[in-house]
Chains A and B, each alone.
Chain A
Amino acid sequence: MAEITGTTIDKHEAPVECAVRRYLYIWEGQIRIIHWINFLCILILSITGYFIHNPFMSADQHPYIMGHMRHIHYVSGVVFCGGVLARILALFVLSNRFASWRAIPNPFNKKDRETFFAYIKFYTFLSKDTPHVIGHNPVAVVAYIFLFGLFLFQILSGFALWAQADPNGTMYALTGWLFGLMSNQWVRWVHFMIMFMIAGFVINHIYSVILFDFKTKSGEISSIFSGWKPDRRD
């Protein structure tokens, strides 16, 4: 495989003449499917979750509205749990090097460190050189790790809240320990707050994707639909 990490794009390059030689299939099908399942789940969970927090429609708009909202929240919660676990599993099996754990920047590797700080410099306007790697942006990988921590807490707290309907059941046996660490009001509070943190991430995520799609001409946006990214070396 070609050398595909750590190039920087010269700021003076000619804008239209693209340095692309061919396309590489970076995001394989399962990764894209999981990405969009999780996207849909987060969207549905946020809408129904906000409704649970503040039921802004009433029985006048739809009979049994809270019952249905909660049902949709729980069902998409279960799907989301599957999606998140599948993505974590895909770090280790059935994925190429761009989607696997090997894409995580290694702080003990000099080259990884340099690439990482090239991105930090670019983000903070300290450097005009746009860094480029063909897989994950390493700063984004750090954000994703943090994000998946939020997801895991959201799943744990969600199932724990659900389990309260039957404290003698299996689900409570698996998740009830959370209430020994924090009261159920704070579990709800954090579950609610993480929704906003995820929304904050989404703003960042979409912005960065557009930014790098524009700056590096490497098909960031289309790659999550089609999987292809240009193999550019310059």
Chain B
Amino acid sequence: MSNFKEMLAAHNVSRRSFLKYCSALGAILAVPAGMTPRIAAALESDNRPPVIWMEFQSCTGDTESLLRANRPTVGELILDHLSLDYHETIMAAAGHQAEASKHATAEKFKGKYICIVEGSIPTGADGVYCTVAGETAVDILKKVGGDAGLIIAVGSCSAYGGLPAAYPNPTGAVGVSDLLPNKTVINLPGCPMNVDNLTGTIVHYLTFGSAPAMDRFGRPKFAYGKRIHDNCERRGHFDAGQYAEQWGDHAHRQGWCLYKMGCKGPETFHNCPTLRFNEGLSWPVMAGHGCVGCSEPGFFDTMMPMYKRLPNVPGFGVEASALKIGGTIVGASAAIFATHGAVTVARNWKQVKEAKAETRETTKETTD
């Protein structure tokens, strides 16, 4: 790979727009503006680690996201320039050649290379649901991931199991950190991950030599440190009490809050509202659809039904909504005590009658 400066020049990227990009990245990472030169220097230096991008049970959505990297002139070049030594979808090599390149990189840069994983790893039936070059995903991950300097799990599937792990999880799909419990795994969940967050994570690593600060689910705080709901442009309508009640109704056309349409923004941590997708053009809520909570652990199951706020519980005939179960609890309690009350009244009927008579009698005596 050629010198990065030459590469930028060849693509007509001016020094000015390169530095602009670096400061934009600094803003995403929430580091002070004074860090921009350090970021630029880290990107320009020539000892960047190679990247092995492995794909298991996935829809290739994160690769798509990578290929459509916004601000492509610089962002894409950085990722290109990282020397992507292995990426099944976009590498030129195939078959034995491709495998050889993977093994060579893993060998030569042991403990230094960046391992990016896309897709969940099936553990059922000894891992046969996903094999590459005759090896199971579990074995490949343990080997290639185990020797990596940095592991990044891109997309919800590699982070937490995602869609393949949804009930009933026929392949026993799990996320990367489930199989590599002793390694630091940076999770960039999302369906797909936002490529700016990937670039940001890598640049943070190149600049500071460490993983960015992460939350309890292994997600970088710069990208997952705030709730969608707290940064959403429709939040004013939420607090005001202006809600879409049906797709295409007046409120929906006004761009009001999608809470009653099952928006999961209040449960989801991600920087979608500020970073957005496709060159900052839009994001789901902006486009008129509620957040589906894709970047939370437990997605898909805990975030369904998509258009209801809370999960349903299976096993009550058909799936029952929370309200139905709650109503049953209260109804059952009312029925039990109403019955008890009726029986008690019946059993005490005689006593009440006697008491009535006796009270009449006694009060007559005293008033007389």
Interface residues, chain A, with chain B CB atoms under 8 Å away: 14-16, 53-55, 57-59, 61-67, 70, 123, 125, 128, 164-165, 167-168, 176, 179-180, 183-186, 188-189, 192-193, 195-197, 199-201, 203-204, 207, 211, 214-215
**Which of chain B's residues has its CB closest to A64's CB?**
B240
**Between-chain CB contacts (< 8 Å), 29 pairs:** A15-B354, A16-B355, A53-B310, A53-B323, A54-B323, A55-B241, A59-B241, A59-B242, A64-B241, A66-B239, A165-B227, A167-B215, A167-B226, A167-B269, A176-B216, A185-B293, A185-B302, A185-B303, A193-B329, A196-B325, A196-B326, A197-B329, A200-B330, A200-B332, A201-B333, A204-B337, A207-B340, A211-B340, A214-B348
B311 touches A16 (CB 8 A): no
**Interface residues of B, dominant DSSP:** helix
CA of A64 to CA of B236 in the docked complex: distance in angstroms?
9
Interface positions, chain B 188-244, Cβ under 8 Å from A, are: 215-216, 221, 225-227, 230, 238-243
A65 touches B240 (CB 8 A): yes
B11 to chain A, nearest CB (A): 39
Question: Is residue B31 within 8 Å, beta carbon to beta carbon, of the partner chain?
Answer: no
Q: Count how many pairs of residues, one from A and one from B, have CB atoms less than 8 Å apart in the complex.
A: 119
A70 to chain B, nearest CB (A): 8
Question: Is residue B169 within 8 Å, beta carbon to beta carbon, of the partner chain?
Answer: no
Q: Note all chain B residues with C-beta closer than 8 A to A16.
A: 355, 358-359, 362
B238 touches A125 (CB 8 A): no
B267 touches A185 (CB 8 A): yes
B239 touches A186 (CB 8 A): no
Q: Note all chain B residues with C-beta closer than 8 A to A53.
A: 309-310, 323
Given A55-B241, A186-B311, A197-B329, 5 additional A-B pairs, CB 8 A = A59-B242, A125-B343, A128-B347, A185-B298, A185-B311
Known: A62-B241, A66-B241, A188-B267. A167 touches B330 (CB 8 A): no
B interface residue count range (under 10 / 10 to 19 / 20 to 34 / 35 or more): 35 or more
Interface residues, chain B, with chain A CB atoms under 8 Å away: 215-216, 221, 225-227, 230, 238-243, 259-260, 264, 267, 269, 293, 296-298, 302-303, 309-311, 322-323, 325-327, 329-330, 332-334, 336-337, 340-341, 343-344, 347-348, 351, 354-355, 358-359, 362
**Which of chain A's residues has its CB closest to B363's CB?**
A16
Q: Note all chain A residues with C-beta closer than 8 A to B242.
A: 58-59
**Which of chain B's residues has its CB closest to A67's CB?**
B239
Interface hub of A58, A128, A204 (most chain B Cβ within 10 A) = A58
A207 touches B322 (CB 8 A): no
A203 touches B310 (CB 8 A): no
Q: Note all chain A residues with C-beta closer than 8 A to B343.
A: 125
A193 touches B355 (CB 8 A): no
CA of A164 to CA of B297 in the docked complex: distance in angstroms?
15
Q: Note all chain A residues with C-beta closer than 8 A to B322.
A: 189, 192-193
CA of A176 to CA of B358 in the docked complex: distance in angstroms?
63
A184 touches B296 (CB 8 A): yes
Enumerate the 4 nearest inter-chain pairs by beta-carbon distance, A residue then B residue, closest first: A196-B326, A200-B333, A67-B239, A65-B241
CA of A172 to CA of B344 in the docked complex: distance in angstroms?
49
Known: A189-B322, A207-B337. A55 touches B259 (CB 8 A): yes
The residue that B241 contacts in the complex, of A57, A188, A201, A214, with Cβ under 8 A, is: A57
B240 touches A199 (CB 8 A): no
